[in-house]
Amino acid sequence: MSLIHALVAQSSTILAEHKVGERNFSQATQTILSKIPPNNSKLTYVWEQYLFHYISEGGYVYLVMAEDAAGRKMPFAFLNELQRRFTATPSSSDPSRPAYALQGSFGPTIAELMHTFNTAPPSDSLSRAQGELNQVKDIMVHNVEQILSRGERIELLVDKTDVMAGQATAFRRGARSVRRQMWWKNQKVVGLGVLAALIFIYIIVAQFCGAALHCGSED
């Protein structure tokens, strides 16, 4: 079993899906759907031992979750065929639909395609997908970290650039704060040194002139 969960969505609204196995990846797929930009793109997200591949085109997202061992050629061949099947249906021209509006009509198509590609993927589809993968330059692989908070929730970090930028900003702010603290500390040290020198001078002078510092000659 290489393909585990596949769906067609309009923006982040899932229209139809099919999944195999008992583990629920709905939260992970919804998080990824919410991060997909509106422009046409192809991308692969890596999460644990799974790969989330998607094609976003014309306002629709075709996404499949696959095992790492499946690579990218076979899942993208599946997505190309899924996109071809969906765009051939009359319902693909409807601009707005509620969630799972096409589950009954297109869900079985997704299940059939997943079974086909999991058992004997068509060689022509694989060849076509490989050619597209070689030509398309904007297909990237993003690492996705799983964060568990007391076993209560899972978050997917899909934008490492923003995180690193935030960390850099925090580092710069911290460095400025440390510099300010060191400057004030140096000023305090200098002030204490000056005060100690004045006290030392006063003590020396007071030994000769008295505490009132009257050093003039007495009649």
Same domain, 149 and 182: no
pLDDT of residue 204: 78
Are 105 and 198 in a shared domain?
no
Full residue range of the structural domain in which residue 166 is found: 159-219
pLDDT value at residue 68? 84
- Residue 138 and residue 185 in one domain: no
pLDDT at site 151: 36
- Scored b (16 or more CB within 10 A) or e, 168-197 reads eeeeeeeeeeeeeeeeeeeeeeeeeeeeee
pLDDT value for 62: 96
Which residue positions in the chain have pLDDT lower than 70? 1, 91-93, 124-170, 210-219
Structurally, the chain folds into a number of domains equal to 2
Q: Locate tokens 């040194």: which residue? A: 193
199/113 same-domain check: no
**How high is the pLDDT of residue 154?**
39
Q: How many CA atoms lie within 13 A of 43 on its CB side?
A: 19
pLDDT given at position 157 = 41
Find the CATH number of the domain harbouring 136. Answer: 3.30.450.50
Q: Which two tokens stand for residue 10?
A: 């309009």
pLDDT tens-digit profile of 2-38?
899 999 999 889 999 999 888 788 888 888 888 888 8
- Using alpha carbons, select from 74, 77, 84, 120 the residue that is nearest to residue 8: 84
Q: DSSP for 36-94?
A: S-SS-EEEEEEETTEEEEEEEETTEEEEEEEEGGGTTHHHHHHHHHHHHHHHTSGGGG-
